[in-house]
A and B are shown apart, each in its own frame.
Chain A
Amino acid sequence: GAGVSQSPSNKVTEKGKDVELRCDPISGHTALYWYRQSLGQGLEFLIYFQGNSAPDKSGLPSDRFSAERTGGSVSTLTIQRTQQEDSAVYLCASSAGQGNSNQPQHFGDGTRLSIL
């Protein structure tokens, strides 16, 4: 079956531009997560959506970062006025479970963002 799909796979843009990254989760998965993985670093949590609940935005590093999830499915992560330190791989994951279920996350292949 189809897994988590992210687009674009690579994005190169100039400093100061806005970028949008897209994530299509697995159909029926209610939970969706965004992470950032900088070179040689682990995964940094950014934001979490669960169904129709208010998202957990506690990991967003600045107000230049925002995300939305339309219709409980596709999600878009937007970075405004990009900076060079925003260069990283942005990973999206979805999960079927909520609460204390032991359902794992399923990851997309990520978007590699490079800021010139």
Chain B
Amino acid sequence: AQSVTQLDSHVSVSEGTPVLLRCNYSSSYSPSLFWYVQHPNKGLQLLLKYTSAATLVKGINGFEAEFKKSETSFHLTKPSAHMSDAAEYFCVVKDFNKFYFGSGTKLNVKP
């Protein structure tokens, strides 16, 4: 079975500074990978997905993620944080019909 590890349960950054949310996965083959964001009292919204077409994936709201097979990582980045980015972020691996979720990283953005 697949597994997903989000290395930080909480990340705090100042507005305008870069964001890095880390994700490592276990997989015996090339996986399908996703990042989702969840704002309070809302469902999960897809930020981006890795489709094996390119290792650097661009998503919505200025977020990007880079697939590194050698490191089994799929870290999420954004050059400049905005207050509206404060939310919880989930890294997800798909294995056939099942989706495996990381435990989530709560992003706090300070003014």
Chain A positions within 8 Å of B, measured between CB atoms, are: 4, 31, 33, 41-43, 45, 48, 50, 56, 91, 93, 98-102, 104-110, 112
Residue of B nearest to A102 (CB): B32
**In-complex Cβ contact of A110 among B32, B43, B99, B103 (8 A):** B43
A48 vs B94: C-alpha distance in the bound complex, in angstroms? 13
Among B14-22, B45-53, B69-77, which stretch is in contact with chain A? B45-53
**In-complex Cβ contact of B44 among A45, A50, A107 (8 A):** A107
Q: Is the CB–CB distance between A91 and B44 below 8 Å?
A: yes
Residues A4 and B43 in contact in the complex (CB < 8 Å), given A43-B90, A48-B97: yes
Q: Is the CB–CB distance between B99 and A105 below 8 Å?
A: yes
Q: Is the CB–CB distance between B51 and A109 below 8 Å?
A: no
Q: How large is the interface on B (under 10, 10 to 19, 20 to 34, 35 or more residues)?
A: 20 to 34
Residue of B nearest to A98 (CB): B97
Task: Give the A-B pair count, Cβ closer than 8 A.
Answer: 55
Residues of A within 8 Å of B103, CB to CB, are: 41-42
Q: Is the CB–CB distance between B90 and A102 below 8 Å?
A: no
A42 vs B43: C-alpha distance in the bound complex, in angstroms? 12
Q: Is the CB–CB distance between A91 and B43 below 8 Å?
A: yes
Residue of B nearest to A37 (CB): B38
Residue of A nearest to B95 (CB): A100
A99 vs B41: C-alpha distance in the bound complex, in angstroms? 31
Can you list 14 A-B pairs, Cβ within 8 angstroms, ordered by A?
A: A31-B97, A43-B101, A45-B99, A48-B97, A50-B97, A91-B44, A102-B50, A105-B44, A105-B46, A106-B46, A107-B36, A107-B43, A107-B44, A112-B41
- A91, A98, A104, A106: residue with the most chain B Cβ atoms closer than 10 Å: A104
11 extra interchain contacts, Cβ-Cβ under 8 A, other than A31-B97, A100-B96? A42-B101, A43-B44, A48-B97, A48-B98, A50-B97, A91-B44, A93-B43, A102-B32, A104-B49, A105-B44, A109-B43
